Amino acid sequence: MKDAQRPITYRQSGVDIDANDEMVERIYSHVGSTFGPRVMQLKGGFAGLFRLDYDERLFKKNYKSPVLVACTDGVGSKIQLAAEIKKYDTVGIDLVAMNVNDMLALGAEPLFFLDYVAVNKLVPEIIAELVKGMAKGCRMADCALIGGETAEMPDTYRKDDFDLAGFAVGVIERRKIIKGDNVRRGDIILGLASSGLHSNGYTLVRNICFKQLGLKMTDRIDELDGAVLGDVLLEPTRIYVRSIVKLLGQYKVKRVVHGMAHITGGGLVGNIPRVLPRNCDAVLKKSSWPVPKIFTFLQEKGPVEEDEMFRVFNMGVGFVLIVAEDFAGSMQRKLTRYGEKVYSLGRITSGSGKVVIK
């Protein structure tokens, strides 16, 4: 008979329950900072609780035919750059942005957000930084971070590796859903400036910057006005929620915003057609907006063909509105007052449902 083996623990196998408990305590203040009057707080609960409406007369929403809108997305390989220089607070903003900007394209108001973080080893300080970023993003989007999951999986992820996924739920009155079916010839296309690369195309970015050029995240780049490469590449995705929700609230009866698009993977040429009728084209004038230097740098150093650049990157435009011609000027002024850089990119013409860049 073999000698009795010594007992083995979960921690010895690679998962630390005590670290998880410490992590929960570290993140709770960040999470709580996103709560509004519709969150029903239940610390330690198995699920988050959120009231679609509430009784307080001053804040009552009075939905007549509410439709829930749900999105899920991640940050992609941008997280590898964050891990390389151990800067974790910005990719949480990216995670929120990629979800709430998507639902915003339908005109929906974000309500709440949940996250999933998968790691090789749970380090409470790192998770707290990630959640700190998510909480900041949720505050910027006026939504609540009501739950999440952190999975410690040493057999699945390599040392220092991690992954993020986000899930957002919003609401919109059924009659106010913006699907693009009102887009018509003569409409004006407005573009809102991006903050940079946002969260798309990073596999190509890493190939150019690190494999081909041999750069480091700490390098200062002359072509980027001496900016540190890591700061430029980790600039968080812009969140457009407050500006767009405020704008839509100015037109309670008139349907003057005919279509909207979040410019993510696929760029302008891949995302605008998602809200175009089959008999319309979106004609954009390339000189109507400034292309940020990071895109010019990547295109020249790749080198990358211009058509490929427009298929992969946002090229400086992170969100697009297609609006009635008579209201375009006033909308541009309002969005500018709300803090956006707004460009009149072009107009809608007869066509076959594609983007034409001139």
Give the number of other Cβ atoms within 10 Å of residue 230's Cβ.
18
Find out if CATH 3.30.470.20 is the number for domain 10-176.
no
201 phi-psi bin (left φ>0, alpha ψ -120 to 50, beta other): left
In the chain, CATH 3.90.650.10 covers 188-357
What letter would DSSP give residue 252?
A: S
- Given this model, what pLDDT does residue 48 score? 81
Supply the DSSP string of 257-304, one letter for each residue: EEEEEE--TTHHHHHGGGG--TTEEEEE-GGGSPPPHHHHHHHHHTT-
pLDDT tens, position by position, 120-153: 988 889 999 999 999 999 999 999 999 999 999 9
Identity of residue 351: G
What is the topology classification, in CATH, of domain 188-357? Phosphoribosyl-aminoimidazole Synthetase; Chain A, domain 2 (3.90.650)
pLDDT tens, position by position, 286-298: 999 999 999 999 9
- Given this model, what pLDDT does residue 1 score? 45
| Spatial CA neighbour of 126 closest among 171, 63, 83, 71 | 83
pLDDT tens, position by position, 155-185: 898 888 899 999 999 999 999 999 999 999 9
Which parts of the chain sit beneath pLDDT 50? 1
Residue listed under structure tokens 């072509």: 223
The CA angle 316-318-323, to the nearest 5 degrees, is 110
In the chain, CATH 3.30.1330.10 covers 10-176
- Given this model, what pLDDT does residue 9 score? 63
Predicted TM-score (pTM) above 0.85: yes
- Given this model, what pLDDT does residue 160 score? 83
Share of the chain above pLDDT 70, in %: 91
| Spatial CA neighbour of 282 closest among 308, 317, 255 | 317
